[in-house]
Amino acid sequence: MPEEPDGPGRLEGKVALVTGGASGIGRACCERFAEEGADVVVADIHDDRGRETVAAVEERGQRATFVHCDTSAPEACEAMASAAVEAFGRIDICVAAAGISHAQYVSGADPVDENPLTPSVDSSTGFVENKEIEQWEKVLAVNLTGVFLTDRAVIRRMLEGGHPGSIINIASAAAVLPMPGDAEYAVSKAGVWSLTKTLAVEVASRGIRVNAIAPGVIETPMTQMWTDDESWMADYLANTPVGRLGQPLDIANTALFLASDDSSFFTGELLKPTGGIYAT
């Protein structure tokens, strides 16, 4: 069990809702927020692992509850937000971290067998002329529409409760860098960035801040199909100035800044914890 932080945390008395909270970046945000004093609503489609995150939050001395939610479904997102308010009375922070890398992605499944795409851009398997509409629509439904539905439901509850809040959308370096063979993922994340800016302008005067994070390659189950490839790893690290992959905690710490009052003058921003790949 981690050591308790000294003194009040930066999120003391706050309630955070995190989608995709069962693993990877979402789980890291849940745990890090709990260390800083927040109670946490863990939302995911994976019930068992979501409840494991709840237990991890409780081990850190905070309250937590799990909500099963498919964020691509409007009614599910509304029910999720209502459950958060029913459990803890309000929502102060939302991290929209639920997402998929491709249409066949299943978190926790074998990263190679489940993925019809190769990490190499030398293959045209996933190029636009070969893309099935079902692949395109599935990724946008989860990665973009799911963020919209999550944000919409949370903003409604924040306004109804009269509480200012911070919304943090997880985009990707792919929002601004091309990804040959995976256009639907790149477009979905670019959409998240555009949505973030639009919402930020719409709700700033009502006390709600909306920002996004564009991670580089983070060592999670979603990226394992690439990080298990030694050749890909060698090439990626050679082009990453800090010389390592990102860890979920790197993104959780960025989200903590955006969730806290330390970032009170930030809205409509895209923070880029990528290890320097934008500088090359």
For residues 261 and 259, give the distance between their C-alpha atoms in angstroms, rounded to a whole number.
7
> Exposed, middle or buried by CB within 10 Å (0-12, 13-18, 19+), for 110?
exposed
Active site residue 105: no
Q: What are the start-end ranges of the H helices in 180-247?
A: 183-203, 224-227, 230-238
Number of neighbours of residue 138 by Cβ within 10 angstroms: 18
For residues 33 and 205, give the distance between their C-alpha atoms in angstroms, rounded to a whole number.
26
For residues 265 and 267, give the distance between their C-alpha atoms in angstroms, rounded to a whole number.
7
For residues 157 and 151, give the distance between their C-alpha atoms in angstroms, rounded to a whole number.
10
Residues 121, 183 contacting (CB under 8 angstroms): no
Closest CA to 198 of 241, 144, 237, 239: 144
- Count CA within 13 A, CB hemisphere, residue 233: 13
Selected catalytic residue, list 105, 185, 236, 278: 185
For residues 61 and 131, give the distance between their C-alpha atoms in angstroms, rounded to a whole number.
47
Number of neighbours of residue 32 by Cβ within 10 angstroms: 24
Indicate which residues carry an active-site annotation.
Answer: 185
